[in-house]
Structure 1
Amino acid sequence: MNYYSTNNKELRYSFKEAVIKGLSPDKGLFFPVAIPKLDEQFFRELPWKSIAEIGFEVAKHFVGDDINESDLKKICDEVFNFPIPLVKVEEGVYSLELFHGPTCAFKDVGARFMSRCLSAFAKQNKEEVRILVATSGDTGSAVANGFLGVEGVSVIILYPKGKVSKIQEQQLTTMGQNIKALEVEGTFDDCQALVKTAFADKDLNQKMNLTSANSINIARLLPQSFYYFYALGQLNEKSREVIVSVPSGNYGNLTGGLLAKQMGLPIESFVASANRNKIVPDYLDHGKYEPKASVQTISNAMDVGAPSNFARMMEIYQENHSDIIEDIKGAWFSDDETKEVMKDVYEREAYILDPHGAVGYLGLKKYLNKEKQVGIFLETAHPAKFKETVESVIKKEVSVPKYLLECLKKKKNSRVISKYFDDFKNFLLNE
């Protein structure tokens, strides 16, 4: 499989080159030259396949010869070793719980897969790789955990100062070893801009081997398609159409679902569910893409004003707005609406939504026709990661997984930098 840049379709890169580079030299995102159509037997066997087996069957089409099938299978078996249950919340509504991995967030899936791919390539090249990752909450901790202690790889995490939850910050700043955390005096969009500018800086790229672990990296994005196959295998619904609602920030999670649909997965439609950072829902409504400065909300991992993966969504549909709105509906919700539904669902169904899953639930309910459709929303993070917010809403103590408790006991170690690129460049050159 070859990949091109979303800014230049004439360029060609291997999977290995795309993963190591992270972002094309022209600042475009890597995209597969062709999206494979999977055979009918694969879909018939989904109810009996593990997430590791599904991951291997899908990934081999995109990885090609850059990782042999034996090693790829080992990677999938090692990475996808935690449950991803589809839980019934109410009649016709299911939650795909993506928070049972080591850092209690959906990004464990992509970050762990990418870490193993990059580690394999670093060993092949015998050259250290430096990963730059911007995070609005969960990406950083998942990446840090996935790469912790990995030989030949160092990680620098940038996160917006004061705009992530306490537990998220502890996860980002207490790893040590080959992981460093930078608090940026700005927003997530500022963090993301610093990373993208670094990739385009010729001086930096001559001195060090830089790559990204955000969903702009193709090895982070592709695994986010795997659990859509797994969800439908668990659902095994024959009589009704399936609609999936995705709480969205940088839109990698939704793009993963769209890729799965392009590969033949029978999902009727998606809901792009957003908080007040409603750039994509506005585009779906009006046909104009207008990035804006992000605003802070209680669903902070979705506080993104210029979502990178929008470019990949445009590639899938060749920028045809009428085709896009056939497959994707848009919805956005305020913090008050988010809190209200968290309280309502807990009181009715005894199910605890985190603020991001709550937005996904709201988007699903807005469009779900229970007579014709069955709905799935993605629960992307453990409610304990937003303990104060959740407990203030449902008036019940939320139990904290052991891993998160251990993070809270550790000493924070981070460095504050400005949002200006010269400061970040100086850090990279001198660290």
Structure 2
Amino acid sequence: MNFYSTNNPDHQVSLKDAVIKGLAPDQGLYMPVAIPMLSQSVIDNLHKMSFQEIGYEVLGALFEDQLEPEQIKTLVDHTLAFDAPLVEIEEGIYSLELFHGPTLAFKDFGARFCSKLMSILMEEESQQVKVLVATSGDTGSAVANGFYKVPGVEVIILYPKGKVSDLQEKQFTTLGENITALEIDGVFDDCQKLVKEAFLDEELNSKLILTSANSINVARWIPQCLYYFYAYSKLDKAGKKLAVSVPSGNFGNLGAGILAERMGLPIDTFIASTNVNRVVPAFLEGGRFESQASIPTISNSMDVGNPSNFYRLLALYDNDESLFREKVKGFYFDDHHTRDAMITVYHQSKYIMDPHGAVGYLGLRNFRKQFPDEYVGIFLETAHPGKFRETVEHALNLTIELPERLAAFMDGEKQALPLENDFEAFKSYLLK
């Protein structure tokens, strides 16, 4: 399967080129030329399969002409090395816990897949690859730990000064080795802009091999579809429709869910749940897609005012805006409502949500109010609440004990280079 640019369907490249280049020369995102449909037999038997067996089926369908079966098995086994439990927190509402990986965030799945696939594709290359990553929080920690000490790869993480939690920052600024953190005087969208400009700079690309491990890279994006299949396999729908609520910032995770649905997974409705950075919900309500300056919130990993994956979402629906609005519903919530949801769920069920999961829960709850008894729903709990310890403890008036592997990061010494929000400064650093 080849991959095309969302800005030019005639521009097509191999899997290797899509992964190593990250972004198309015209700034488009790479998409599979054709999305394979799984057989009805596979869908019907998902409940009999392990997480890994589901991975072999799904990734086999996507990459069978680009990778050997043994390579696909290696990728799946490395990526799906931990569980993603489905937990019912109230009748008809389930939390899909995606925080049981090394950095306790959903991005561990994509980061582990991306690092392993990149090492497979670059085995015979002699030049070092520079992986450029913009992060609003969890991407940085997941990518840093996924690529830590991977031979032939240097990871450079750009993050907005003072706008990620202390624990998130420690997870990608304390490793050293092949991981470098650049503290940018700006917001996430500034970091993302610097990365995109680097990919388009002719001088940089003539001297360096640059790629990305953000969700703009297909190797980060595609494997996230696997846990949608797995969640479905664990769910008793009892004759009801299925709605899935995805707390969203850059919208790669929602796009992966739509990819699963396009491959045949029977998800009836997706819910794009955001904080007050509401550019996509505004579009889904009938407005135009217009980027805005990002607004800081307690769900900081979703503080994105210009989500890169929007055009990937459109492409998944063949650029049919009406179909997009029919299949995806949008809701947004401020910090007050987010905290209230965390408190209410904890008091009712003793279940602790992080702020991002709380936004996903609110979107699902609001959607189901419109269709009493018609839908069973899943919301994605994308990070361990300990990663947002101060916010969660303050809201719930309790103390969270950090998992041992999370607490260990707090003992590390921060190593970050301050850098002004200026492309020439960033370019000079890369050329050094």
**By the TM > 0.5 criterion, same fold?**
yes
Is the Cα contact below 8 Å between 1:122 and 1:128 reproduced in 2? no
Deviation of 1:370 (Å): 4.4
Which one of 399, 404, 407 corresponds to residue 405 of structure 1?
407
**1:309-364: per-residue Cα shift (whole Å, max 9, x none)?**
00101111233222111110000000000001100110111000100000000000
Aligned to 1:184: 184
Is the Cα contact below 8 Å between 2:130 and 2:208 reproduced in 1? yes
Does residue 56 of structure 1 match 2:51? no
Structure 1 Cα separation of the partners of residues 341 and 21 of structure 2: 42
Structure 1 Cα separation of the partners of residues 272 and 347 of structure 2: 26
Structure 1 Cα separation of the partners of residues 249 and 172 of structure 2: 19
Does residue 135 of structure 1 match 2:135? yes
Structure 1 Cα separation of the partners of residues 249 and 286 of structure 2: 19
Q: Which amino acid aligns with 1:376?
A: I
Does residue 428 of structure 1 match 2:430? yes
Structure 2 Cα separation of the partners of residues 49 and 126 of structure 1: 40
Aligned to 2:347: 347
Is the Cα contact below 8 Å between 2:147 and 2:155 reproduced in 1? yes
Aligned to 2:269: 269
Aligned to 2:149: 149
Equivalence map 1:278-427=2 (5 Å)? 278-368=278-368, 369-427=371-429
Residues 122-131 or 199-208, more deviating: 122-131
Does residue 98 of structure 1 match 2:101? no
**1:361-398: per-residue Cα shift (whole Å, max 9, x none)?**
00000111341110100000000000000000011111
**1:56-106: per-residue Cα shift (whole Å, max 9, x none)?**
211123324432111210221122110100001000000000000000000
Aligned to 2:235: 235
TM-score relative to the length of structure 1: 0.98
Q: Which amino acid aligns with 1:327?
A: K
Deviation of 1:222 (Å): 0.4
Is the Cα contact below 8 Å between 2:271 and 2:330 reproduced in 1? yes
Identity of matched residues, %: 53
Is the Cα contact below 8 Å between 1:299 and 1:355 reproduced in 2? yes
Deviation of 1:121 (Å): 1.3
Is the Cα contact below 8 Å between 1:215 and 1:221 reproduced in 2? yes
Q: Which amino acid aligns with 1:266?
A: P
Is the Cα contact below 8 Å between 1:98 and 1:105 reproduced in 2? yes
**1:175-202: per-residue Cα shift (whole Å, max 9, x none)?**
1110000111000000000000000000
Structure 2 Cα separation of the partners of residues 54 and 370 of structure 1: 32
Residues 115-124 or 96-105, more deviating: 115-124
Residues 323-332 or 234-243, more deviating: 234-243
Does residue 169 of structure 1 match 2:179? no
Is the Cα contact below 8 Å between 1:287 and 1:321 reproduced in 2? no
Deviation of 1:268 (Å): 0.6
Name structure 1 gaps, 5 residues minimum.
none
Structure 2 Cα separation of the partners of residues 416 and 54 of structure 1: 43
Structure 2 Cα separation of the partners of residues 64 and 154 of structure 1: 29
Structure 1 Cα separation of the partners of residues 365 and 412 of structure 2: 40
Structure 2 Cα separation of the partners of residues 319 and 47 of structure 1: 33
Give me the CA root mean square deviation: 1.0
* Aligned partner of residue 339 in structure 1, secondary structure: helix
Q: Which amino acid aligns with 2:90?
A: E
Q: Which amino acid aligns with 2:274?
A: A
Is the Cα contact below 8 Å between 1:134 and 1:159 reproduced in 2? yes
Structure 2 Cα separation of the partners of residues 396 and 264 of structure 1: 43
Is the Cα contact below 8 Å between 2:78 and 2:116 reproduced in 1? no
Structure 2 Cα separation of the partners of residues 108 and 52 of structure 1: 16
Q: Which amino acid aligns with 1:284?
A: L
Residues 127-136 or 328-337, more deviating: 127-136
Structure 1 Cα separation of the partners of residues 208 and 108 of structure 2: 26
Q: Which amino acid aligns with 1:392?
A: H
Structure 1 Cα separation of the partners of residues 123 and 2 of structure 2: 22
Structure 2 Cα separation of the partners of residues 62 and 131 of structure 1: 24
Equivalence map 1:177-216=2 (5 Å)? 177-216=177-216
* Aligned partner of residue 329 in structure 1, secondary structure: strand
Aligned to 1:35: 35
Is the Cα contact below 8 Å between 2:145 and 2:172 reproduced in 1? no
Q: Which amino acid aligns with 2:278?
A: K
Structure 2 Cα separation of the partners of residues 94 and 370 of structure 1: 16
Is the Cα contact below 8 Å between 1:123 and 1:152 reproduced in 2? no
Structure 1 Cα separation of the partners of residues 424 and 23 of structure 2: 20
Residues 261-270 or 124-133, more deviating: 124-133
Aligned to 2:15: 15
Give 4+ residue runs of structure 1 displaced > 4 Å after superposition: none
Is the Cα contact below 8 Å between 1:47 and 1:236 reproduced in 2? no
* Aligned partner of residue 204 in structure 1, secondary structure: helix
Structure 2 Cα separation of the partners of residues 117 and 332 of structure 1: 35
Structure 2 Cα separation of the partners of residues 201 and 295 of structure 1: 29
Aligned to 2:73: 73
Residues 328-337 or 37-46, more deviating: 37-46
